[in-house]
Chain A
Amino acid sequence: MLYREAGDYKTTYTEDSQTFPIKLDRIGYYSVLIIAFLVVPFVINDYWANAVLVPFLIYAIAVLGLNILVGYCGQLSLGTGGFMAVGAYACYKLMTGFPDLNIFFCVILAGFVTAAVGMLFGLPSLRIKGFYLAVATLAAQFFLVWLFNKVPWFYNYSASGQISSPERTLGGIAITGPHTEAWAKYLFCLVFVFLLAWLARNLTRGNLGRSWMAIRDMDIAAEIIGVNPLKAKLTAFGVSSFFIGVAGALFFAVYLGAAEVGEAFGIQKSFLILFMVIIGGLGSIFGSFAGAAFLVLLPVLLKNVLVGGLGWQTDIAAHLEFVIVGGLIITFLILEPHGLAQLWRIIKEKLRLWPFPH
């Protein structure tokens, strides 16, 4: 009854195309922001930061990035793990090569490096589509992991072959390194999530976003309308890889602290993020958050309920997780390709009309 657009008239085209046209949605959005920025940092502890919130935030960035490429532009990629590795190694080289460079800029620059690499690997998309493109990006995934393993320059010739992030501070507060507090990690990632979600929304709402979707929906018609496929696909690869690179940099520098490329950024990461996109909803910003939240929370929940509560063995709980995720992927692909975001939209539609559908 309360969820209405009646009485909430739009008098300009700008108002008509705003992000949250319905008042209750706007209130909800601002409440989430206030809680995320002003409440959570004061109550967060190590467990919540490391098990749930920080990975959720970082995955959300990667999912937004992959969603731009797959969900908006229709170019399937299985190279997400590899591109995250590019972000991580770029960040590592920047942190160690320029110790005075602000960590914030290290992460941003790592994003730009990844954008360039992503565009390079996006070039085949001009010739090949669908399954063949997926295979090409899969090759990129394996090549990148191999490269970071093989060339010692990337890991500064460390004996272990690992990279580990030195301590970096922002205004005297540690953001990376072993002495970082939970709230600082969380807040640093949250700022990136906020900025990048805003960026993603802006880039998908206008001209560029429509040219991506046009390529996705009907590439021949798109080109005949005036979309330059080269430009549309390469910008999608670039923007997407920027997001994924930032996510990789944060994942390594802030979340893990130390990483071995095959383990942290292997093919399983590519699939995890793709699954988040599918479960959350292709071509939806909200869905990107929903998908990331769902797949971060599911194992935590299963572990707490099954292992902690019912006394199951860890490996059985882990297997059950595979079964659930696999089942959900199939269900969503067959029944609801627009994922959780679409389910949410349907619920809202029902609410809006309830109890009088006309």
Chain B
Amino acid sequence: MSLDEGYTTPDGRKIGAVVMEMKNITLRFGGVVAIENISFDIRQGEIRAIIGPNGAGKSSMLNVINGFYHPQEGEIWYKGAQRQAMKPHAIARQGIARTFQNIALFNGMSTLDNIMTGRLTHMKSSLLMQAIWKGPAEREESEQREKVEKIIDFLEIQSIRKTPVGRLPYGLQKRVELARALAAEPTLLLLDEPMAGMNVEEKEDMSRFILDVNDEFGTTIALIEHDMGVVMDISDRVVVMDYGKKIGDGTPEEVINNQEVIDAYLGVAHD
């Protein structure tokens, strides 16, 4: 499992080399230590879960990965090079996309426009070209629209294409947010509780979409999830966090049999 070349999962998927490596990350907010000296890696093609009780620092970890928070200590290695501190929009261009724990769609826009915005990093026409519109800008818009339509078909949201996202039910909003992130064709997709607040059926749909994305596009996925059933089902390896510390790391079977992990979860249950 520690081979540099990667490993093969029990269901026969090939997992590649490390794409993202967090080394000794520490993140503080004033006196609060949100992340304390955590290291872990994410491999190409993997579905990597991050779990832990509320306030463990999971969302903060995703925020560090996509550059929204800058850790006080530690190194981030991405695609074989150490990443310097940079703005989130520059990191988006390096192929990292995400969804949010609390839905963060653009409410004044339609489903289609939200997803088209996700393709922003792939669009090149200048202000002048867009001002003229006819020609390159219009052509680019059509080409990108074609790509977006594929994602719309993939996530089965054809019927809400033109609906303002604010009017959609919660479950569909989550799906549109996934579509918007997918539109970027990311190397690494970060999902912050993609199934929170969903019923069993919606969770099954979402799990299927996540597995399909990973399978069809080879997208590497890091996701935060509270539902242990889902985590066991879809993830290849799991990082467990508690109070900002890493208390477990391994396959789902390994971590649920880890005494420290069991204690953390039982401890929370009795709180």
Least Cβ–Cβ distance between A87 and chain B, in angstroms: 19
Q: A211-B120, A226-B92 are in contact. Are A221 and B137 (CB under 8 A)?
A: no
A225 pairs with B68, CB closer than 8 A: no
In the complex, are the beta carbons of A217 and B133 less than 8 A apart? no
- Pick the contact of A214 from B88, B93, B106, B145 — CB < 8 Å? B106
Q: Is A4 an interface residue (CB 8 A)?
A: no
Residue contact A225 to B127, C-beta cutoff 8 Å: no
Residues of A close to B104: CB separation below 8 A = 218, 220-221
Q: Which of A2-46 contact B (CB under 8 A)?
A: 12-14, 16-17
Residues of chain A lying within 8 A (CB to CB) of residue B92: 223-226
Dominant secondary structure at the A interface: helix
Contact across chains for A217 and B108 when beta carbons are under 8 A apart: yes
Write the chain B residue with the least CB distance to A208. B130
Q: In the complex, which residues of chain A have a beta carbon less than 8 angstroms from the beta carbon of B45?
A: none
Do A225 and B131 form a contact, CB below 8 Å, given A13-B141, A213-B113, A216-B108? Answer: no
User: CA A198 – CA B3 in complex, angstroms?
Assistant: 59
A305 within 8 Å of B by Cβ? no
- Quick check: A218 and B106 within 8 Å, CB to CB? yes
A223-B89, A225-B118, A225-B120 given as contacts; is B109 within 8 A of A202 (CB)? Answer: no
**Cβ-defined contact, B127 with A217, below 8 A:** no
Residue A199 CB within 8 A of the other chain: yes
Q: Of all chain A residues, which has the CB nearest B67?
A: A224
Q: How far is the CA of A240 from the CA of B244 in the complex (A)?
A: 46
Task: Specify the chain A residue showing the minimal Cβ separation from B165.
Answer: A217
Tell me, yes or no, whether A350 is within 8 Å of chain B by CB: no
Q: Is A229 an interface residue (CB 8 A)?
A: yes
B182 to chain A, nearest CB (A): 12
* A13 neighbours in B (Cβ, 8 Å): 141-142, 145-146, 149
Contacts of B141 in A (CB 8 A): 13-14, 17, 205-207
Q: List residues 77-110 of chain A with CB under 8 A from any CB of chain B.
A: none
Q: Is A256 an interface residue (CB 8 A)?
A: no
Q: Can you list, as one digit per residue, whether each of B85-96 has a CB less than 8 Å from chain A (1) or not (0)?
A: 001110011000
B33 to chain A, nearest CB (A): 23
Partner among B98, B113, B131, B146 whose Cβ is within 8 Å of the Cβ of A203:
B131
Interface residues as binary, B127-149 with A (CB distance below 8 Å gives 1, 0 otherwise): 10011110001101110011001
Q: Is the CB of A199 within 8 A of B108?
A: no
With A223-B88, A228-B89 in contact, is A207–B108 under 8 Å at CB?
A: no
Does B25 belong to the interface (CB within 8 Å)? no
User: What are 10 sample pairs from A and B whose C-beta atoms fall under 8 A apart?
Assistant: A207-B130, A207-B137, A217-B107, A218-B106, A221-B104, A225-B118, A225-B121, A225-B180, A226-B93, A229-B89
